[in-house]
Structure 1
Amino acid sequence: MSLLSVRDLTVKFAMRSQTVTALHQISFDLARGERLGIVGESGAGKSITGFALMKLLSAPGYIDSGTIQFDGTDITQAPEAQMRQIRGNRIAMVFQDPMVTLNPVLTIGQQMVETLRAHRKLSRRDAQEIALTKLREVQIAAPELRLKQYPHELSGGMRQRIIIAMALLLDPDLIIADEPTTALDVTIQADIMELLLKLCQANKVGLILITHDLGVVSQLTERTLVMYAGRIVEAGKTREIINDPQHPYTQGLINALPQQTLPGQMLKQIPGAMPVLTDIPPGCPFSPRCAFALAECRRLLPQIMQQGSSEVACHEVNRLHSDLLLEEGR
């Protein structure tokens, strides 16, 4: 049985003038210890997916339909008291900005110890020992000193390491990392990602990595979901998606990577911008930006279909695949 099984998850926001759909029938599975990447531009629905999985959507957002089966339990129906036991204890989240996550008026030690004691019957001394152990695991120098410090006294990279240590405090089965290195320097980003990978492998923890960077996904994850305008447009093994992208949007994301451009040349961009939720175009949401779009693409919404070992929602790819099958059958 999968650790996490999401089926037809739809999230809506009740605005003053209308209700908009932020996630459209998202479905995917995550095995125990598996590492999954969720990729797309800003506005694709990546972070909303993470918040929905934790049931942390704030009004006016809400889960409209679908199920989130976590270890056999549909948490969309779970009362808040049960979710408080699952959050942190079974599912942990690493947010983009550690300065928002950490309480500025409490020391690192106070925050880690109180987190442990909220979920476990531990003495303050025992909780502090566990906190020290986790800080050592994330390679924090002088952990005894760090426990006495406040967040503002630490560097950005060190704060992010502490957030990861806090995510691992209660030995969760799943970590959701939402753009965990956005505010960090490039060299520190690489260190944090390598650390996260090693910790997940060593502790057999499942990982959902939410990012806009396909380069990071290629290094850390085993499978990838590519999202656009609240929909999954391509899903499959990370290596195959990177080496042979099927959807034009995925191809555009890969072409936009800096390493795809020669020194001195302009970086390649996908023309246009992600549509806003209140003005999603008819048919394929990507069609206004797609160089391969036909009349059918602007009229009909493509359904996700199996294409080799991947799943793709694209009229053009599905048509080419059907033509190939017809030729092979001749």
Structure 2
Amino acid sequence: MTLLSVRDLTVKFGTRGTPVTALHGISFDVARGERVGVVGESGAGKSITGFALMNLLSRPGYIDSGEILFEGKDVTKMSDREIRRLRGNRMAMIFQDPMVTLNPVLTIGQQMIETLRAHRRLSYDDARQISLVKLKEVYIPSPEARLDQYPHELSGGMRQRIVIAIALLLDPQLIIADEPTTALDVTIQADIMELLLEMCRSNMVGLMLITHDLGVVSQVTERTLVMYAGRIIESGKTRAIINDPQHPYTQGLINALPQQTPPGTRLRQIPGSMPTLSTMPPGCPFNPRCELATDVCRARMPEITQFGEVQVACHEVKRLHAELAELEGAQ
């Protein structure tokens, strides 16, 4: 059953001249309890997608067109009061840096209790008790003592666990996690991702994991969206994309993983860099960096096409599949 349905979502940023487009008509679905990864380099549009879903875009950014249907209701048409009821209650977001998420002048308990009482009619004692239960669920040691501490008194890993506990306070149906382990040590990262996965499975919560790390995506998510320059260029089951990437950009991301490079050799990387919003090339936005680019790629934007378990936007992939189908037909 579909929980979230995004259709032709376009996000723009106003400038002194012509507005620039950050998201170009993206469409995807998230089912109840499904774990979806959103991957790509910095500037691909991953975080903008998350902010747009929560209706957290601030000027000069704005949703220009499209629908964001959450449980059948269009988020883009909700009033401020309806949005406040939705955020934290039915949809929650985990941000990159817990020190930015948590208020440094309030204790952990104050922040959790205020969150609960803003959405539920609860007494102070009941809200505190629920907060203790959630801290225990994310394996916070001595939760009673932690409620009376300030964020700066806790380690980075513990702060991120508390942010996850706050996200789960009101039993949301969807969590959007924006690079939730970026500021943490590698060993702590693994613990946090395992915790998120466990929480989503046990509570049947949908998860959108925004990250640049395909290794994390392969371990946590069931389906993956690969983004480039504000577009979804490949999507499908995570295992299918990891094992047999179709788009040259996805292939480049996987080849750039350290484990893909033999010891003692230079790490492989995709040449060039992501285009800026104001200097988008004509045709396929990846064509200046693509070894397979042809004149068609430089002139015309590729359409999303279904190939087996994945959808891909690439002229060359479409041509290769057409040639393969021709050969199979001839035999």
TM-score computed with the length of structure 2 as normaliser: 0.99
SS at match of 1:277: coil
SS at match of 1:301: coil
**Correspondence 1:1-330 to 2 at 5 A:** 1-330=1-330
> 1:171 and 1:265 mapped to 2: Cα distance?
47
> 1:135 and 1:305 mapped to 2: Cα distance?
45
Aligned-partner residue type, residue 276 of structure 2: V
SS at match of 1:92: strand
> 1:314 and 1:75 mapped to 2: Cα distance?
31
> 2:192 and 2:206 mapped to 1: Cα distance?
17
Taking only the aligned residue pairs, the percentage that are identical comes to: 74
Aligned-partner residue type, residue 74 of structure 2: D
> 1:166 and 1:262 mapped to 2: Cα distance?
42
SS at match of 1:278: coil
Deviations 1:167-188 (A, max 9, x none): 0000000000000000000000
Aligned-partner residue type, residue 198 of structure 1: E
- Could you tell me how far 1:266 is from its partner in structure 2? 1.1
- Could you tell me how far 1:278 is from its partner in structure 2? 0.4
Aligned-partner residue type, residue 4 of structure 2: L
- Could you tell me how far 1:34 is from its partner in structure 2? 0.2
- Could you tell me how far 1:283 is from its partner in structure 2? 0.4
Mean Cα displacement is larger for which, 260-269 or 148-157? 260-269
> 2:200 and 2:296 mapped to 1: Cα distance?
44
SS at match of 1:100: helix
> 1:264 and 1:117 mapped to 2: Cα distance?
56
Q: Structure 2: give runs of 5+ residues left out of the alignment.
A: none
Deviations 1:92-140 (A, max 9, x none): 0000000000000000000000000000000000000000000000000
- Could you tell me how far 1:54 is from its partner in structure 2? 0.2
> 2:128 and 2:198 mapped to 1: Cα distance?
23
- Could you tell me how far 1:324 is from its partner in structure 2? 1.6
- Could you tell me how far 1:17 is from its partner in structure 2? 2.3
Mean Cα displacement is larger for which, 72-81 or 174-183? 72-81
Q: How many residues were matched structurally?
A: 330
> 1:15 and 1:134 mapped to 2: Cα distance?
43
Aligned-partner residue type, residue 303 of structure 2: Q
Deviations 1:279-299 (A, max 9, x none): 000000000000111111111
> 1:279 and 1:320 mapped to 2: Cα distance?
29
Deviations 1:30-66 (A, max 9, x none): 1100000000000000000000000000000000001
Mean Cα displacement is larger for which, 301-310 or 218-227? 301-310
SS at match of 2:2: coil
Aligned-partner residue type, residue 313 of structure 1: A
> 1:99 and 1:137 mapped to 2: Cα distance?
21
- Could you tell me how far 1:253 is from its partner in structure 2? 0.2
> 1:89 and 1:274 mapped to 2: Cα distance?
35
Deviations 1:70-109 (A, max 9, x none): 0111111111110100000000000000000000000000
Deviations 1:173-230 (A, max 9, x none): 0000000000000000000000000000000000000000000000000000000000
> 1:263 and 1:125 mapped to 2: Cα distance?
57
Q: Structure 1: give runs of 5+ residues left out of the alignment.
A: none
The list of structure 1 runs, each at least 4 consecutive aligned residues, that deviate by more than 3 angstroms after superposition, is none
Aligned-partner residue type, residue 88 of structure 2: G
Question: What value does the CA root-mean-square deviation take over the aligned residues?
Answer: 0.6
